Structure 1
């Protein structure tokens, strides 16, 4: 993750530095050009002012006054006649003026003047020319000069300021990118540590996730994964413990009674009784293994459901006729009600297993002379099958868990009843494989109702 943090930081730094360089360069060039143009405009405006004064009063005293004014300023002035002959000038500018003025092309100069020397990088002066026109004729020219050293000094200071600001900006950029890269990578580091814990079987992962961005969603997904894996680990341990318990008890019975039955001095009637117990326990183990095999196929998604259109009422009637004698033997009443013309797509063999299991539970946990009803109700898009009994009911605390594997409401009676605790789990898997759902309502001591919802054909 440190490599990722470095890569992200370096990538951000390169991009930001590139953008800052382009922006600073553009700003620098724009500002420098603006300041230089401003110097040219100010110098030209100063020359035009002198020209305006001379056009109003072109006398010897005025010419001397203009030259005297510039002698105390940072600029210099040269006044020529129409032919370019120097009339008046500042003392220090004469050598440069003699070189420049003969080559200055002022034949087509406008009354607003023009820049005649703009090479501030290589020449010692910049210069402008303003024509003196009186009565429609050019009387002469006012040349203004300014040292380029002042401009270069200004540009140097500007470079220094930009350099300082650039260094500060780069430093702040590095600090900001470091902070932002840490902000981005710290959650990733925590997620990496969390996944490492998960890979080692430690599912007690708790990530502090804030926000709704992609990183937060990833953190929530890892948190959910950890919770699911922790639940699966708990379920697996309980599942293995339950299997171990379920197999240990009948195996203990089988081994114990087999040892007794092997004794030569016991009566044949007693030996037959022990063998009968051994057979019952073997049948119990066989049923448990069969149920486990069914669940294993469901977990591997190799559980095949072959649906076919089935008249539900006719299908349930056959199950009713098959189960009715068992209810009559216990002096119980099994009631069957079904609306006509209800068709569903089901695997008949698997769904018969569902109905048989539910009716067998109703028979097993109901009192003698009570009633069990099997009722079908049709809705717009679904068909609901209700199996209601008047039995012992299910405690409220156990009701949410009755479809879990190996869950038994009455642990003390489970062995007598012969249940494995897997029947309702298998029922739930089969119903859901049909695209349906199953739920239960119950009042302890009064009875239970199982509701199966199936999509209509």
Structure 2
């Protein structure tokens, strides 16, 4: 993950450094041109001042005084007449100065103008200002050595270079810190996903940010929790299957060995064979329910919905289960208005009701009653199955739809349940897009309520 930190840091550095270089270049050009323009403007102004002095006090002494003033300065002055003949010069006239003096001087503005501004390659920058007196006409040329300007720009470049290096260094440090801060949650998430890939789902990620990274952290944490829950369920599921299959197989093997003994009487042998038959039936039921759950998990089963009468379906179910309820000493009652129809899969609907009724019968004592009650309100149908059994403790209610979960584990073999009936009910209810609610009080009974909306 350090690679992504380096990549992000380099990317930000390149972008910011490019912006800084562009800004520094524009700023440098602006300052450099501003300084050159100031020098040219000052040179024009100086020439105009000399012109004004000449026009006011034009004599030989004034001319020499102007030249003497420029001897001690960083500029040079050359005064010529109208024909271009040099009247006086503060410096020796060389080839470069002479070439500028030979330039055409017609139609010059009163305030003068710049006649040479190429400070990069030329030896001088120069200006010209015309003057006119009652005695003579001429021109005041001002020259400034470009070496000073070049030195000024060189010094400016040096300052900008130092500022640029310092800025790049500070920028690199800031980006390094920021990239570490940005990639820190990514590094944690990478380590977390690595643990997930290795089967370690017990990870804890925390994020205080409300941005996309925070949402990603929450998603990974949710995924880890779900995987951890699935892993726990899988282990418990496999352990439960192993236990549920091992127990009847142990009974079958043991009683088979006993039943093969020669000295056993017919009645005793039949009792052992009956046990073997019962255990085989339990195994068959378990395998059948496991296959049903596998189909539900893989969505390989289909829901074929049709409209049918709820009451007629419940009456058929009650008649089929009534003998087993009578054998257990439990009354089975049905309260259902005749005009209620539901849109559902009749086979799956029967499977849901049968599982709930068998659950009520298994956990209800003799002398109690189980009631099926149907109610309709607007576009909602409620089918409630209420028993007067031992009830479900409140701390067990949230888990009763989990596979192989039993409230009373000590009586699991006596009651004959597999712990899969309610799981199948929940899966089938969800497949119909219905809801199922549970309310229970210990030693007073349990009520399962199926809520079907929009199924009229």
Length-normalised TM-score, structure 1: 0.92
* Match status 1:415 vs 2:413: yes
Whole-Å separation in 2 of the counterparts to 1:111 and 1:303: 103
C-alpha deviation, 1:175, in angstroms = 2.9
Query: After the TM superposition, which parts of structure 1 deviate over 6 Å for at least 4 consecutive aligned residues?
Result: none
Whole-Å separation in 1 of the counterparts to 2:378 and 2:416: 40
Whole-Å separation in 2 of the counterparts to 1:98 and 1:75: 13
Residue deviations 1:125-161 (CA, integer Å, cap 9, x gap): 21111111457x9832221111111100001111111
1:389 corresponds to: 387
2:80 corresponds to: 80
Superposition map of 1:17-416 within 5 A: 17-90=17-90, 92-95=91-94, 99-134=98-133, 139-416=137-414
C-alpha deviation, 1:416, in angstroms = 0.9
Q: Partner of 2:128: helix, strand, or coil?
A: strand
CA contact (8 A) 1:120 1:151 kept: yes
Residue deviations 1:246-277 (CA, integer Å, cap 9, x gap): 12222222222222211111222111111111
Whole-Å separation in 2 of the counterparts to 1:231 and 1:120: 79
Whole-Å separation in 2 of the counterparts to 1:352 and 1:98: 115
CA contact (8 A) 1:125 1:146 kept: yes
Whole-Å separation in 2 of the counterparts to 1:330 and 1:199: 52
Q: Partner of 1:94: helix, strand, or coil?
A: coil
Whole-Å separation in 2 of the counterparts to 1:297 and 1:171: 64
Match of 1:429 among 427, 430, 439: 427
Q: Partner of 2:93: helix, strand, or coil?
A: helix
Inter-CA distance 395–138: structure 2 relative to 1 (3 Å threshold):
farther
Inter-CA distance 277–117: structure 2 relative to 1 (3 Å threshold):
same
CA contact (8 A) 1:79 1:89 kept: yes
Inter-CA distance 192–23: structure 2 relative to 1 (3 Å threshold):
same
Residue deviations 1:49-71 (CA, integer Å, cap 9, x gap): 22223333323333333223222
Q: Partner of 2:94: helix, strand, or coil?
A: helix
Inter-CA distance 178–274: structure 2 relative to 1 (3 Å threshold):
same
CA contact (8 A) 2:252 2:280 kept: yes
CA contact (8 A) 1:77 1:143 kept: yes
CA contact (8 A) 1:80 1:142 kept: yes
CA contact (8 A) 1:288 1:420 kept: yes
CA contact (8 A) 1:84 1:101 kept: no
C-alpha deviation, 1:124, in angstroms = 2.1
Aligned length: 455
Whole-Å separation in 1 of the counterparts to 2:7 and 2:166: 23
Residue deviations 1:306-353 (CA, integer Å, cap 9, x gap): 222233233223323433444445554433233454333211111101
Inter-CA distance 98–356: structure 2 relative to 1 (3 Å threshold):
closer
CA contact (8 A) 1:344 1:455 kept: no
Inter-CA distance 248–94: structure 2 relative to 1 (3 Å threshold):
same
Whole-Å separation in 2 of the counterparts to 1:370 and 1:80: 134
Q: Which moved more, 1:54-63 or 1:404-413?
A: 54-63
Q: Which moved more, 1:248-257 or 1:401-410?
A: 248-257
Whole-Å separation in 1 of the counterparts to 2:97 and 2:105: 15
* Unmatched tracts of structure 1, length 5 or more: none
Length-normalised TM-score, structure 2: 0.92
> What is the alpha-carbon root mean square deviation over aligned residues?
2.3
Q: Which moved more, 1:240-249 or 1:298-307?
A: 298-307
Q: Which moved more, 1:222-231 or 1:79-88?
A: 79-88
Inter-CA distance 97–252: structure 2 relative to 1 (3 Å threshold):
closer
Inter-CA distance 265–324: structure 2 relative to 1 (3 Å threshold):
closer
C-alpha deviation, 1:101, in angstroms = 4.9
Inter-CA distance 239–269: structure 2 relative to 1 (3 Å threshold):
same
Inter-CA distance 129–322: structure 2 relative to 1 (3 Å threshold):
same
Inter-CA distance 138–171: structure 2 relative to 1 (3 Å threshold):
farther
CA contact (8 A) 2:96 2:123 kept: no
* Match status 1:15 vs 2:15: yes
